[in-house]
Amino acid sequence: MRKILLATTFLCGMSGYALAADAVVEEVVVDVAPVFIWTGGYVGLHGGWAWGQENDNLSVFEEPPPTEEQPVADEFDVDGFIGGIHAGYNWQSGSFVYGLEGDIDYADINGDADFGGGTGNLSLDSDWQGSLRLRAGYAMDTWLLYATGGVAFGHAELEASNLGVRESDENTHVGWTIGGGVEKAFTPNWIGRFEVRYTDFGSEDYDLGTLGDSVEADWHQTAVLLGVSYKF
């Protein structure tokens, strides 16, 4: 009888220990921060500075006169502010993120050069730009490193003046753009970005009347941009 009581007491003690251990295990909660998901649409604002160079073949201003074998072209620096809105959509697969983005910008890109011993001036001014691009990147939770590239659009006015004569013409250029950047998600909805892009707007023909009835001109630029996006 005594042995039976001892065995019963031992079993009850072990059962109590097991229950206490279970209770301790159940109270342990692992708090794991959720991984940020980049999939979704977004819209935002950005702004920055761009600089580059204009090139043209308004060779009537050059000395000596050009020939077909050795044409002479003008060139000068351009720079200025650029800023506007962007919108896009991302898809995420594992750590890889890919998407589509478009932007439209106000621009104050301009530059000019004197010619003819200072009697004349040639200038370019771009007042708006835009692009439609693909994006691909690598996500590290709330950080995203990405590359981007696609088609670019830019409106420009080319103006020439010489000895009291002033002529100008406008065109919308179509070219290409490529670059990259980094984004940081500060909250589930707000994302900051830093981006650098090179853009070549391609050549268009300008009619400058008596100063050049078919002037081919283009410009390229590098832009450094800061922005913020709201993710839906």
pLDDT digits (tens, 9 = 90+) for 140-158: 999 999 999 999 999 999 9
The pTM of this model reads 0.82
DSSP 149: E
Mean of the pLDDT values across residues 79-94?
98
Name the average pLDDT for the chain. Answer: 85
Beta carbons of 172 and 158 less than 8 angstroms apart: no
Tokens of 124: 């370019």
Could you give the number of structural domains in the chain? 1
pLDDT tens figures, 18-29: 444 444 444 555
Give a yes or no: residue 108 inside a domain: yes
Question: Residue 112 carries which side chain, given as an amino acid letter?
Answer: D
Give a yes or no: residue 31 inside a domain: no
Give a yes or no: residue 109 inside a domain: yes
Rounded to 5 degrees, φ, ψ at 2 are: -65, -40
Which range of residues forms the domain containing residue 115? Answer: 40-231
Percent of the chain with pLDDT over 70: 78
Give a yes or no: residue 142 inside a domain: yes
> Each residue of 46-57: b (16+ CB within 10 Å) or e?
bebbbebebbbb
Give a yes or no: residue 35 inside a domain: no
Three-class SS of residue 60?
helix
Give a yes or no: residue 104 inside a domain: yes
Give a yes or no: residue 2 inside a domain: no
CA distance 167 to 84: 30
Cis (ω within 30 of 0) for the bond into 64?
A: yes
Give a yes or no: residue 9 inside a domain: no
Q: What residues contact 27, with CB distance under 8 A and at least 6 apart?
A: none
Q: Is 62 exposed, middle or buried (CB count within 10 Å of its CB: 0-12, 13-18, 19+)?
A: middle
Mean of the pLDDT values across residues 44-59?
93
